[in-house]
Amino acid sequence: MRRIVVFRHGIVINRWFMEPLARFLRRHGLEVSNPSYPTTRKNIEEHAEELASELRGIAKEADARGDPWELSVVAHSMGSLVFRYAMTHLETPAVRRAVLLGPPNAGSVTARRFRNFPPYRWVFGTKAGSQLAAELPGIYEECGVPPATEIGIIAGIGNLKLYPVAIPKPHDGVVALEEARLGDCPIATVPFNHTTMLFRRRTHELVLRFLDEGKFD
């Protein structure tokens, strides 16, 4: 069985932030697609179109080879919204499991706090960045919840704030634990912050466990 995992990183970072996790999964026998994409230049719906196209291409190639296969997704931060929108609005092959790392599933008080701050617009742009900073429910509700995919969430609770914003505790410095929740999806916490969690072995082990077993316990 070929186990293929597609990554989507968060806004204003690139594939290299996800590469330590990609290497960890590859060492455990999974195939990983970990592309960079221009996070600030398009809106979330457009990024979702590109993800859906990649998933369809992988499925077509896998079918042509004739070996049994399954698809999973690992997404960080805004990449989680891209994944959710693709799976609920666009034509995609089946995705068995997905792990969302530091996802702002229920919004981001941090982004809303800075939406009228010019440096925010310079760094995060006026497309996806504006969607993240909009009032609720906005894109967060529009993304929906993929009904046929087992979803696990890993949330940071490092509580070291990156910005001078009153974030409900516990939080990862950007996204609060309560903002990361998505319905009754299982959630695991790690004592790291929003970006540092990507580099920590504990996070990597939890991702692999969920992809293997569909649970964190």
Q: What is the pLDDT of residues 8-19, one digit of tens each?
A: 999 999 999 999
Other beta carbons within 10 angstroms of residue 71's beta carbon come to 22
The residue-averaged pLDDT of 178-191 equals 98
- What pLDDT score was predicted for residue 164? 78
Instruction: Please say if the pLDDT value at position 117 is more than 80.
Output: no
Say what the pLDDT of residue 127 is.
95
Closest CA relative to residue 55, chosen from 39, 76, 70 = 70
Cβ atoms of 104 and 168 within 8 Å: the answer is no
Confidence of residue 26 (pLDDT cuts 50, 70, 90): very high
Tokens for 209? 């466990």
How would DSSP label each residue in 129-164? HHHHHSPSSHHHHHT---TTSEEEEEEE-----SSS
Q: How many helices (H) and strands (E) does the chain have?
A: 9, 6
Domain formed by 2-213, architecture: 3-Layer(aba) Sandwich (3.40)
- As a whole number, mean pLDDT of residues 77-98 equals 98
| Range with the poorest average pLDDT among 27-41, 77-91, 114-128, 173-187 | 114-128
Per-residue pLDDT band at 190 (split at 50, 70, 90): very high
In whole angstroms, what is the distance from residue 91 CA to residue 6 CA?
A: 16
pLDDT at 120: 81
* Residue 163, pLDDT above cutoff 80: no
Convert the pLDDT of each residue in 191-209 to its tens digit.
Answer: 999 999 999 999 999 999 9
Q: Is the pLDDT of residue 119 over 90?
A: no
Residues 6+ positions from 210 with CB-CB distance below 8 Å: 97, 99, 150, 152, 186, 216
pTM confidence score: 0.96
